[in-house]
Amino acid sequence: MCLTWSIENNTLILNCKIDNIISGVSIYNPNGVEQAYCLLPYPVPLCFAHHKYGRIFQNITTHETIYTMNGNFKEGIRGNWSCHHGTNMDMVYAFVHNGIGMYI
């Protein structure tokens, strides 16, 4: 598993790459609060974001779950974000550190 991040046009982008997506995938903010999740992606991905400015989708071909959140939020984005896969809770972290002007 690998979790990368970037900030583009005042939007936080988290990309969770999993070699074989065989279960649900969830994205958590630095406070440990789930921000979005995708159910088992077969026959098609079905994803939901909890934050009104958040979006999540899966690309089964590239094995990526991508969460985006635009810059209209209230709490800071700085800290360890995480991607969780499956009931065994395989997880990976990424430290978001350059959120100037952005708040979640």
Domain encompassing residue 7: 2-96
Average the pLDDT over 58-86 and give the result.
Answer: 86
Residue 89 lies in a domain: yes
Percentage of residues of the chain with pLDDT beyond 70: 88
CATH number (domain holding residue 44): 2.60.40.10
Report the number of distinct structural domains present in the chain: 1
Q: Does the pLDDT at position 12 exceed 60?
A: yes
Report how far residue 55's alpha carbon sits from residue 58's, in angstroms, rounded to the nearest whole number.
Answer: 11
Residue 101 lies in a domain: no
The residue among 61, 67, 64 whose CA lies nearest residue 28 is 67
CB atoms within 10 A of CB 36: 24
The region of weakest confidence among 9-23, 37-51, 87-101 is: 87-101
